[in-house]
Amino acid sequence: MNKFEIASAALSKMGHPPLTAFEGKSAAQIVAKASYEDILEQCLSKGWHFASIHLDMNLLEDAPLAPWTLAHQIPTSPKVLQINFVAAEDNVPVRYARMGDKILTSTSTSQLNLNYVWRPDEETFPPYFRKYFGYRLAALFALGVARKGKLATYFEGAAEDALTEGLLTESQSVTSATLGRKPGHLVSAARGRKGLA
């Protein structure tokens, strides 16, 4: 599914006709153009494994100010939406600070990698994420297009349920070693978010 099909599926929950473009003067097009990418980035930044990537960082020659001793360049492609963790060669997370487009550390090794959230193409979204994202969009359209607050609240609740279900589903498809986190991280994250707005 492309972005227009995903947005149209969300609109169809309210009986709204599909969109073929975000450019236009209809309320649905205006809302979609203004908020689609923002909602997508919010949804991607929930701890999904499919939207996380692990890349080596380049060490910069100039040393940072104390207390930091090393500075690394944050990758530019794919774009970093949210940093999950910085790790040394043994894949153990290290303490860091982000300053602009740089990562500052005080580690004993210069070989560091960055695990972060990026924006995959819509065609690669797994069904459990499309379900969650679709409900978040439906809540957006319920307020911005249909002007129905109760319906928006319903869709937000459905989105939280879909988030919990999706994170649990994904946690069962990857090992804790692959995730680079302790077992049960995604399950705990899902349960902790259930019921939150």
pLDDT tens, residue order, the chain (197 aa) = 999 999 999 999 999 999 999 999 999 999 999 999 999 999 999 989 999 999 999 999 998 999 999 999 999 999 999 999 999 987 889 999 999 999 999 998 899 999 999 999 999 999 999 999 999 999 999 999 999 999 999 999 999 999 999 999 999 987 654 444 433 333 333 333 333 33
Where do the domains of the chain lie?
A: 3-48+120-193, 52-117
| Sign of the Cα pseudo-torsion (125, 130, 132, 135, in order) | positive
Cis peptide before 67 (omega within 30 of 0): yes
Q: Which of 27, 56, 128, 104 is nearest to 35 (CA)?
A: 27
Instruction: Note the pLDDT tens digit of each residue in 168-195.
Output: 999 998 765 444 443 333 333 333 333 3
| Sign of the Cα pseudo-torsion (187, 189, 195, 197, in order) | negative
Instruction: Note the pLDDT tens digit of each residue in 25-34.
Output: 999 999 999 9
Sheet holding 102-105, edge to edge: 58-59, 70-73, 102-105, 97-99
